[in-house]
Amino acid sequence: MKNKEKKFKKLKDLEEKGIELSSVWNFGNREKGYGSHIFHGNCIPQVVKQCILKYSEEGDIILDSMSGSGTTLDVAKSLNRKCLAFDINPHRDDIRKADSAELPLVNNRVSMIFVHLPYWNMVKYSNEKEDLSRKTLEKFYIKLHSVFLELRRVLKKEGRICVLVGDKILNGKNIPLCFETYNILSKYFEYKDYAIKITKHANSIHNKGKVVQAELTWNNLLRPTHDMLLIFQKI
């Protein structure tokens, strides 16, 4: 097959699988049957599905070392991938307890990683000392270095790591968690791509939303209505 034909075939395959080909992802409602919709800070299964379909093959081993309610685990299984799931505070029997900076895995064990970082300073997930959600901003960033170094160790060469992260507004300032995470990831992996995942429809401002919006407007800030999906590769 000629090069051009191969490219068109790949495009057709991806389109048939329903893979997003542009960088703004707006999935609407959460698909049911994966993880838990009541887990605070869960992620929409459609994001995980896109990453797994695009960056792994059937039979591959996927890792989520911050599994929360197990969305990645359930999506991976539904797509005939194996999944190794860990969390510092596991909520299910099929999620093992481990700090993402010290995983009980041999080197180069997994084909792809999906992690959804805890929303800094929003939800306290546990009383564990190494829980990222309990750390000061400075210690949060320091810990991310150890986490990404460890994730690099267990990822196979050329494997992708997809990191979902959102910014935070605190005391009238935007804390650029996405950009800082990008900077730290760049030290351990090669940058490939990113997508913006829409988190809320702009017209969903209810009463509490109005108070939040007034506060943001007062500080000349935009209301964050997206997360960023950062895509890197181990080289």
Ligand X SMILES: C[S@@+](CC[C@H](N)C(=O)[O-])C[C@H]1O[C@@H](n2cnc3c(N)ncnc32)[C@H](O)[C@@H]1O
Which C-beta is closer to ligand X: that of 14 or that of 126?
A: 126
Which C-beta is closer to ligand X: that of 14 or that of 54?
A: 54
Which C-beta is closer to ligand X: that of 91 or that of 156?
A: 91
Sign of CA dihedral 102, 104, 107, 113: negative
Residue 170: CB minimum distance to ligand X, A: 18
The residue number with the shortest CB distance to ligand X is 68
The residues, ordered by sequence, that sit 6+ positions from 130 with a Cβ below 8 Å of its Cβ are 88, 99, 101, 143
Residue 83: CB minimum distance to ligand X, A: 12
Buried b (16+ CB within 10 A) or exposed e, 42-59: bbbbbbbbbbbbbbbeee
The residues, ordered by sequence, that sit 6+ positions from 16 with a Cβ below 8 Å of its Cβ are none
The residues, ordered by sequence, that sit 6+ positions from 62 with a Cβ below 8 Å of its Cβ are 52, 56, 72, 76, 81, 82, 83, 84, 110, 111, 112, 113, 114
Residue 92: CB minimum distance to ligand X, A: 10
Residue 144: CB minimum distance to ligand X, A: 10
Residue 48: CB minimum distance to ligand X, A: 8
Which C-beta is closer to ligand X: that of 68 or that of 159?
A: 68
Which C-beta is closer to ligand X: that of 121 or that of 126?
A: 126
Residue 45 and residue 93: Cα distance in Å, rounded?
Answer: 20
**CA-closest candidate to residue 156, choices 115, 105, 84, 107:** 107
Question: Which chain residues interact with ligand X by CB under 6 A?
Answer: 35, 39, 41-43, 65-66, 68-69, 71, 87-89, 99-100, 116, 118, 125-126, 130-133
